[in-house]
Structure 1
Amino acid sequence: MTKSVVKGPWFGIRHLQALLIFFNIVVVYFSRINVSVAVVAMTNANTTNPNFPEYDWNEKHKSVIISSFYWGYIFTQFPGGYLSRRFGAKIVMFGSTICSAICCVLTPLLISLGGWQAYCAIRIIMGLAQGVIFPAIHQHLGKWSPQKERNFLGTISHCGTDCGIILSMGVSGLIASSSIGWPGISYVSGGACFVWCLIWLIFGYNNAPSARFITPEEREYIESDLLREDNFHQKNIPVPWLAIFTSVPFLSLLVVRCAQAWGYTTLQAEIPSYMAGVLNMNIKSNALFSALPYVAMFCLTFVYLFSADFIIAKRLLTLTVLRKVCNTFALWIPAGIMIGIGFLDEEQKTLAIVLMILNVGFNAGATIGSTLNTIDLSSNHAGVLMGIVNTIANFVPIVTPLLVGVIVTDEHDRTLWQIVFIIAAAIFFFGNLVYIIFGSALTQPWDAPNFLTRDNIENDLSKPVLNGKQLVTSMGDVDKVNSIVNPEVVTAVKVTYNGALNNALELSEEPEELTVETSQTDLSNNNKETV
């Protein structure tokens, strides 16, 4: 009684949504990261096009300008998750990106009027606008990603981060040296945001039923895989705040994402300073070298992706185990490498460069390992979960440099840097250990649309629940097994005692037949049915 699932065209609207998210991350990262090149061009015209204004800003001014983006960024993560649920990811992502585009275009004018203070102000506004992006992205992926394609669609979307960083580092310097000078950096990045907004308005859709160009087969595949009723997208699902904040799998995810943020901040910001101070390597001025770790991360992202898809397709591991294995590679290997870098001396510069590149590269596994776990736990509340995680995790990059400043009183003292790296490695290790013990990729009970209502699913047996298919329910004391029965396709799910839908089986453990015991003679002519 098996039949291959019809998924629609090989490149469907769900793939288009992932591609649009990829380009959205590219353009917003381009507008965010280019400041590190722009401030150099503004303060040293000799290195770029000298026909544009030069400003006498010191290192403190530059640091404040660069960090000002995150002053606004951390405050809109949490609202971003709520807004994307309330109004849809399409309008939230559009509003965020169009605001970023306007900020970019106005930057040169405002700098000429208000100096570095105006630059900080416009960066704070841009941070406020972009803070809603990733919660909205996860809410959108939750609406469009069938379970077996979640790794692929999510990874394709998130690798826009690496591409955006590489593009910003590689292109910003060329633009600053061209005829349009450093103002051109803002104009080009703003123009890219405007172009994306136009395409998004045409081809971006909040969900499969509202998509104009989607085929009926692809729509049916997405909605049936995610077990959605016909009127699901018109419902206003309340957020189970207490259940979320007392959920052990979610709290373990929060811990590991904070650990990831701490370690990644050390990788990104502090190792270059260590190499400059201890190894006497002036690597910050080398744009190519600065981009190499992110090139490695981009390449290894696809190694992780194809390996994960192969493992899932062959049913070698459950999704929960797969996520933990990928995250272990992403955190524990860099933890060991960080400690090793701390023991290198000036005569081992080449090895230090290789280790730094591998360090950042292996960390690419965190996307499959834990970033996408918000969608696993709850596709309905994925944006809210991402908003909570990002709000807390983004405080870490503020704390990390402060601690390093307290520990490293002499940047040429290798023993002080070893303390910094050991702390980061320990946080990497124990954060991932918590995730290994308590993490899960199973959909949580509080994901159910009716979790906060008094009427459980089993109390309403007469309603068709999915595209006209009858919901047949057996009544047990603890667990109830629902089968959405179709003459050709059968999907089995488990309903827990509170009426919440949950996956009965991991992706690698799906049998072709499932035997369902029922004591209700009025559900069928037989007391035992095999579906």
Structure 2
Amino acid sequence: MSDPQDDSGPSSGAGDREILTSPDVHESPNVAGHTEGQSEPTPSTGQGCSCYIPRRYIMIGMICMGMTIIHAIRVNLAVTVITLLDIKAHEKLGTIEAISNLPTDIWDPSMAGIMHSMFYIGFFCTHIPGGFLSKHVPCHRLFGGCILISSSLNLLIPVAISNMGYKFTLAIRFCQGLSEGPLFPSCYGLLRQWTTPQERGRLGSTVLTGAYAGAVIGFPVAGFITHYIGWQYVYHVTSGVAILWYIIWLFGAHERPSHHPSISNEELTMIEKRQGATVIEYENEKIPWASIFTSLPVISLCVCNIARNFVFILMLTNEPYYLNAFNYSIAENGMLSSIPHILMTVVAFSSGYIADCLMKDNMLNATVVRKLLTCGGFGVEAICFFVLGFQRVGKVVMIFLSLGIGFSGLTVSGWQINHYDLAARYASILVSLSSALGTLGAIASPLVAGHITNAGDKDLIFCWHIVFFITSGVLAFAVIFYAIFGSGEPQPWSEPPPGLKLVQKNDPMARKPYVPYLQTVPLTTLNPDKDSGGVDADRKSYGATAATENAKGYGLETSEKKGLTAT
């Protein structure tokens, strides 16, 4: 097919890109690929209804619930471990039934550390593949599948501990980790589709808060059930809730707004208009891997993820064991273990509003806000863990533990949402990379804690002081690195390079009629001295040397070499 003509229609408004329709279509498409001027279909529900609930809020709520449930499942073993490590565990239970149901195996702290780390070894193996899958598999199916498989495997853990032995339990934990690897990449993929830049801070922090809320619910529930009923029932209850959530998710979740059968035209139009072209997927677009791997802002996210996972997983897996040194009952232990996470959940949820307020009316730019929240959250946490290295009184320990873990919630709207600032188009890829490397911290912290606290006749609390000094150092390094290299600005590789023709992927699931179109990235940035008449000349040629070189560096072939046409 010949090159597109100059009368191909007005631009879409998506930045400086021009949208060129197929010769069969004379109207210009909007940013979502829908033809302007077409009659809007009447939605099946919501239009003109005062009780209409925005479908993006429903989706965000369901994602948040899924994150809460799966993280509540993760702390099941942390409470069970107390009954496996403490030979006096029977003295800390509340009923004869609970005492009679105690597991018969006896582990040492090193065995517990390996058990916790085995989950994150599996988690590490599927994290980067999970980012790839999130670009090729519907993210809502991937997200729900992670939770369904992990919760099903969770039902096998009591059987494995009681009857199959330590090695079989290790294998199940490894498989659980494998199943949850794509969880965060698929979650960020859903956020990309269902949030707008104006709401991303609030809605993103709401979803990520669900991960922290899991400990708030999981610790007291596991402690209560273990204390009064029996440790194995913890797994039955949490897995049952997860499977029930999945059934609801299966029928109520949709990958993107245009796939939702009951979303109103007003909400769909608002989302598409605010998102612009950042959510459009292209057939011949390739990921700029080299630029991503060498980007210092991306590396700073990886460092923060390592620090966050080192501390967060240390608390998820070992906090009940640490507090057990102060002779609390199992029920008290579960309740006290949740208090720091309650504060963190509140702070994390509030951080989205704090970030949005600070960036409102350009009061502060994204870079300053991300650094302020990240360095402030990690900085206070580092100080509190350093102080914990000198404490031996349970009440004082709870104060500093709560303050440190609580203030870390600020980082949710700091580095954790920063992936969208750097490259919204590749947010799932950035998350898979940073989280995969961050998993190294999750693997290391249980091993370090297990090795150091395997004290024998040594003072157990003193051993924990050593662990906390190491933790404080890890956090301090992250603060310094992110303060120097962190950024909130879109990176040069965050959008396709000039001079490329990008053919939009066919989306047969979209509710509205699909119109294929060709998007061309003009060369005005490479030829700033040309007037508007020169742009047309560039648009017809597609073969400028500068564009070709840029495309090669990006990992794409030029349109002439690919032989793409506007079909």
Give the shorter-chain TM-score range: 0.7 to 0.9
Match of 2:414 in 1: 369
How many angstroms apart in 2 are the aligned matches of 1:257 and 1:356? 20
Match of 1:254 in 2: 302
Cα shift at 1:385: 1.3
Match of 2:54 in 1: 12
Match of 1:87 in 2: 137
Q: 2:246 is matched with which residue: 197, 206, 214?
A: 197
Match of 1:55 in 2: 103
Q: 2:268 is matched with which residue: 219, 225, 228?
A: 219
Letter in 2 for 1:167: I
Cα shift at 1:455: 1.6
Deviations 1:340-390 (A, max 9, x none): 23244x4x5533321111011001111111111122222222122111111
Q: 1:272 to 1:55 in 2, by over 3 A?
A: closer
Match of 1:506 in 2: none
Cα shift at 1:248: 2.1
How many angstroms apart in 2 are the aligned matches of 1:51 and 1:133? 36
Match of 1:490 in 2: none
How many angstroms apart in 2 are the aligned matches of 1:197 and 1:226? 28
Q: 1:338 to 1:186 in 2, by over 3 A?
A: closer
- Give secondary structure in 2 for the equivalent of 1:394: helix
Deviations 1:248-274 (A, max 9, x none): 211121122223333445666678777
Cα shift at 1:398: 2.8
Structure 2 residue 70 is the aligned partner of structure 1 residue 23: no
Q: 2:489 is matched with which residue: 412, 420, 442?
A: 442
Letter in 2 for 1:215: S
Cα shift at 1:476: 4.6
Contact 1:283–1:290 (CA under 8 A) maintained in structure 2: no
- Give secondary structure in 2 for the equivalent of 1:326: helix
Letter in 2 for 1:322: V
Contact 1:77–1:387 (CA under 8 A) maintained in structure 2: yes
Matched residues, number: 464
How many angstroms apart in 1 are the aligned matches of 2:200 and 2:75? 28
Cα shift at 1:143: 1.9
Match of 1:208 in 2: 257
Match of 1:292 in 2: 339
Cα shift at 1:92: 0.8
Structure 2 residue 225 is the aligned partner of structure 1 residue 175: yes
Cα shift at 1:173: 3.2
How many angstroms apart in 2 are the aligned matches of 1:53 and 1:366? 41
TM-score (norm 2): 0.71
Structure 2 residue 393 is the aligned partner of structure 1 residue 357: no
Q: 1:34 is matched with which residue: 57, 76, 92?
A: 76
Cα shift at 1:134: 1.0
Letter in 1 for 2:473: A
Contact 1:81–1:132 (CA under 8 A) maintained in structure 2: yes
CA RMSD in angstroms, aligned pairs only: 3.9
Cα shift at 1:246: 1.5
Contact 2:278–2:424 (CA under 8 A) maintained in structure 1: no
Larger mean Cα displacement after TM superposition, 50-59 or 263-272: 263-272
Contact 1:100–1:193 (CA under 8 A) maintained in structure 2: no
Match of 2:438 in 1: 393
- Give secondary structure in 2 for the equivalent of 1:442: coil
> How do residues 484-499 of structure 1 correspond to structure 2 at under 5 angstroms?
none
Structure 2 residue 171 is the aligned partner of structure 1 residue 129: no
Unaligned runs of 5+ in 2: 1-46, 503-514, 533-545, 552-567
TM-score (norm 1): 0.76
Contact 2:103–2:162 (CA under 8 A) maintained in structure 1: no
Larger mean Cα displacement after TM superposition, 102-111 or 373-382: 102-111
Cα shift at 1:147: 1.0
Cα shift at 1:336: 1.9
Q: 1:468 to 1:166 in 2, by over 3 A?
A: same
Q: 1:243 is matched with which residue: 282, 291, 300?
A: 291
Q: 1:299 to 1:38 in 2, by over 3 A?
A: same
Cα shift at 1:394: 1.1
Letter in 2 for 1:25: M
> How do residues 446-461 of structure 1 correspond to structure 2 at under 5 angstroms?
446-448=493-495, 450-451=496-497, 455=500
Contact 2:305–2:437 (CA under 8 A) maintained in structure 1: no
